[in-house]
A and B are shown apart, each in its own frame.
Chain A
């Protein structure tokens, strides 16, 4: 086995932090969440829970047609209803400035920039906001508001062979290719040519999007639930043509994000209403509204062609993925990207394509690209292993790349093999009979499967301020977001080690755009980005304090900015890796698939807080179970809207669906990060659905290439052992 690594794998590269992290040793030690007590007692207040005097309530009205123009908005009768204060719509709303590229490199999604024209590009498009004294009044008035439409025919049909598909760059180039695919396929001893589909999937975080907007002494103050306060503040200031310093966004506790909690219709409409009424206005989305207003993971249709020598070494790899986007905003689910990291072949082609339909805009959702892409690619690898008669783990090890298959760059660390070795040992993989359909317990067929995982390790520029207080404590201010990741606690541990004090002496203040620019909680980069900024500031503060006799009453504050340091980072392939294992039981009478146990072993950088890290990784694997077996957003062809767009119709895994799920890790500090962090928010879901699908094949002998693996699909597929 060849693994290319550069730098050392033993410790952080920065000498100063290497010294400090050995002093208190908070990093790497389990620590309960610093805000945990507030969360278990109900004291933690989320966005919709902070009281404001004179608060008014806004309720969004969504289109009932999937395409067309708004005719009339009959506000008269609604304005006469009890408590109603105003109705905002395209005829009276302020015009927004939308010609900009935001912090994440994209223009604003017009779904969030509400009421700018009379076009209706999809069912569930925001057409009006009704504001009233109470939420009950606002809701009733919103439901009573008559909006007429000039309806046009819609097209929502997503399928793999759309002639209007086009290649689309997202956060990566659409297409990469090298070598002669046809020639290598023709020369291959084994060829796998298969199609996979994944359905529309929704973030479905437990806390609905909520924002309260108000004007406070000439500044716009928005209390929100989001994944990045400076990000949202920046977008709002641009949209409303306000000076950046005139907007403050706060988001102290966030009830889940998963990629969906950026700028959305609720903040923008709340700002419009607060401006019009000159009083605080709160807009909370309903669960049903979330299904069309807050993004989702596009369905995918993926075709994979693999060609291999007799011993399973790849000669050809092609991965094409089609996803859908709306007609108003381009977003591509880059499922073909995962092959650019995982496997090399003399002929290698990957392409991400999209088709524009009359549907809501999709967006980033936990492991965008990698989650559906690894389902297809890792299931195809399993099919190839079967063809070649090679153990699935051995097949992957034989195809480990020495450098980035597309970039040619070295890996900053590549410990996938170590994950597989440790995982195989703990899961009991050795001696597994690879033949399908052999293990039966009554009506149940039992099988095991495995798959590889990877996710990029990145960081974004951030600023932090660390203050030594006169009382001997330290206050850290950073516009970080803890959306459940445990970032607040991890950063406390990082700051404690950097300052060489106990975590109890750190006061961690996050979720306020006034703390200065910082990376969002996204792309598994948040904790790494923020920890870097805190480490830099804390190091400097500690050095500065070394020569001081005492601390003045106002404290001593050091600020940091990691922009230059990140810009100077060497170009490398930086990724987390993992090995996923699953055992399933398939009821041949009913088609029900149940996961019996799962194990994931990850190489995911330095683990700051083992307690919360386990939750992140296991949580990702639970998403994998949910993706493999349950989740599916269903669109009604005739209306173009959702069918069953709520939590009874859209099934996420319940407690009963989740057996013993274990996650563990091998030592894998990032050599170029001051703390050694890589990021753990997303890698846990990657490959999990493939491991389950591969286990279902091992149980039944049937390849289920369309997710979710529903009972009816299992029953209908039948198979030799069912």
Chain B
């Protein structure tokens, strides 16, 4: 018997379930773009070398080009199309828009998904490669521009919008902190 080379798979994207038959070779990225008409997620290299295809999988940022669609079954996938609440942009989207954190816009959905996760990773206390002392006793590092730059480095931007990207992430992170403090108060 010839083994199957495609499967029926249910993908949970932005809270909606989609059942489709996928060639096993199909990446999550291609499934989104070619099969589900969710073209907000971009293909920059198809090799995990640029970050343009970043989406959230179970809340974790992931390059969807190296994620096989068939292996993403039952995961909670969030793409750039799933961030806004109706007409209200996600604070990260709004900050990118206001502070011009992009030019051509092609890396932007990946940058934004990545930034959403960076803010959560930092809030969870994760250190980064530029954190001086990674030991838990040292406490979580402040989210300085240097920390943001390192954490956002998996998203290339050839237009060179990095400076305003860092400004946008800084603003969105501060808004999240304020919101958390208000909720706690």
Footprint of B on A, CB under 8 Å?
32-33, 35-37, 39-46, 48-49, 51, 134-136, 140, 203-208, 253-256, 258, 284, 286-287, 483-486, 611-612, 614-616, 618-623, 626, 646-648, 652-656, 658, 660-661
Contacts and interface: CB of A to CB of B under 8 A. Distances in A.
A612 B46 contact: no
Interface centre among A48, A256, A611, A614 (most CB of B within 10 A): A256
B155 interface: yes
The 4 closest A-B pairs by CB, nearest first: A42-B40, A255-B106, A622-B160, A484-B104
Contacts of A658: 149, 160, 162-163
Contacts of A206: 42, 44, 50, 52, 104, 106-107, 156-159
B119 interface: no
B26 to A, nearest CB: 6
Contact of A655 (B47, B94, B112, B149): B149
Secondary structure class of chain B's binding surface, majority of residues? loop
A588 to B, nearest CB: 20
A374 to B, nearest CB: 18
Given A134-B23, A656-B150, A256 B100 contact: no
Interface string B139-167: 00000010011101101111111111110
Given A32-B97, A287-B49, A255 B161 contact: no
A207 B44 contact: yes
B33 to A, nearest CB: 7
B44 A33 contact: no
B104 A255 contact: yes
Nearest to A37: B97
Nearest to B5: A82
A286 B81 CA distance: 25
A281 to B, nearest CB: 14
A32 B158 contact: no
Contacts of A255: 42, 104-107
B104 A254 contact: yes
A205 B100 contact: no
Given A484-B105, A656-B153, A204 B162 contact: no
Interface in B68-89: 79-81, 83-84, 89
Contacts of A622: 160, 162-163
B62 interface: no
B41 A286 contact: no
Given A41-B84, A51-B37, A255-B105, A615 B49 contact: no
A451 B50 CA distance: 31
A81 B52 CA distance: 32
Contacts of B109: 40, 42
Nearest to B108: A39
Given A207-B42, A654-B153, A658-B149, A42 B81 contact: yes
B159 A40 contact: no
B109 to A, nearest CB: 5
A661 B104 contact: no
Given A40-B102, A48-B43, A207-B42, 20 more contacts: A32-B97, A40-B96, A48-B33, A134-B23, A134-B34, A136-B26, A203-B158, A205-B106, A255-B42, A255-B104, A255-B105, A284-B43, A287-B46, A287-B50, A484-B102, A485-B103, A621-B160, A646-B45, A646-B49, A648-B49
A648 B107 contact: no
Contact of B43 (A208, A621, A654): A208
B137 interface: no
A486 B102 CA distance: 10
B153 A655 contact: yes
Nearest to B35: A134
A252 to B, nearest CB: 11
A35 B150 CA distance: 29
A655 B162 contact: yes
B165 A655 contact: yes
B45 A647 contact: yes
B40 A207 contact: no
Given A51-B37, A135-B30, A653-B160, A286 B46 contact: yes
A611 B99 CA distance: 8
B131 interface: no
Nearest to A616: B103
Interface centre among B33, B37, B44, B47 (most CB of A within 10 A): B44
A619 B47 contact: no
A616 B160 CA distance: 8
A81 to B, nearest CB: 13
24 contacts: A33-B100, A39-B102, A39-B108, A40-B80, A41-B89, A42-B41, A46-B42, A48-B33, A134-B23, A206-B106, A206-B158, A208-B44, A255-B104, A256-B158, A286-B46, A287-B47, A287-B49, A483-B104, A484-B159, A611-B100, A619-B161, A621-B160, A652-B156, A656-B130
A620 B163 CA distance: 12
A448 to B, nearest CB: 19
A42 B39 CA distance: 7
B64 interface: no
A648 B80 contact: no
Contacts of B96: 40
Contacts of B43: 48, 208, 284
